[in-house]
Structure 1
């Protein structure tokens, strides 16, 4: 249960609300369950393996990205972690103060900043990741091994599809217009102000 209702209660409530709408129920179930699963998994990982190290999910993801790429530009860390540069600034400041991360500003380009793990950060990730993976294994243990592999493959295809075609699709989706309500997106596309 991720909220105050069980998954089944939520699905029943959703079905009663949208039964008369023209929607792709299978696509809706896949995406909404993906969202709920990701939220539940994130919460589980934060409350289990990350809690003892006083790490948030976002802090872990930043450490993970920097660990994988050794030294990486801050803007790329933000993009890889799926967070804003502003959020990264605060997270990086915390990780730097804990002695896990360093920030270098190249002399030839003061606008850039490079992040890398300290020796302590490297050690933490090498010690943490096997435990983190143990919880990933726990989360997927309700599935057969071939289902885990198929799930990973399916999610990878969805990500690759969005990487290849998502931006084009986003640009082509017309604004939703609700009778009697103004839309900031509709105003923008008509050349009006969004405020």
Structure 2
């Protein structure tokens, strides 16, 4: 038995022991999905921040904000918060940092000054265009051993999971 399979069996056995000690029935399949989804996301984030984003001193969330604005155009802070899974206060803090770097700018809605939109500056567009090809290499590395049909199915399943979480 290889080391990977041995670890999986040990993990399942340990979870069974823990669930029995809690006196509850633990859905090991749900645990495996959630745990591995978290690990994959964290691994991707760590590698991308270290290998790609650090050159511009950007966090994952800052890059996500720049990426969303690049793809979708000017966005309201509320939309960016939902897209990134953070609060509007976090978006405001990140926007402050990105504005200081000259990568984005804010504009208030003249009819309702509480509605603030973020857009890229020329420099911000230049940075995202420089970063994205490198970032995309990491995305491809993440799924390189999967067939296209498997990638499509996984993407569909992940969208379904996001809907499940948002509907709770």
Q: TM-score, normalised by structure 2?
A: 0.84
Q: How does 1:10-159 map to 2 (within 5 A)?
A: 10-19=11-20, 21-159=24-162
1:132-175 CA distance string (max 9 Å, x none): 11111112223333322221121122223444xx1xx4xxxxxx
Structure 1 unaligned segments of length 5 or more: list them: 1-6, 170-195
Give the total of aligned pairs: 160
Compare CA radii of gyration and give the structure with the larger one.
1
> Which has the larger share of helix?
2
Query: 1: distance between equivalents of 2:130 and 2:12?
Result: 39
1:66-105 CA distance string (max 9 Å, x none): 1122111112111111111111111100000101000012
Q: TM-score, normalised by structure 1?
A: 0.73
Instruction: Please report the RMSD computed on the Cα atoms of aligned residues, expressed in angstroms.
Output: 2.1
Structure 2 unaligned segments of length 5 or more: list them: 1-6
Query: 2: distance between equivalents of 1:27 and 1:106?
Result: 44
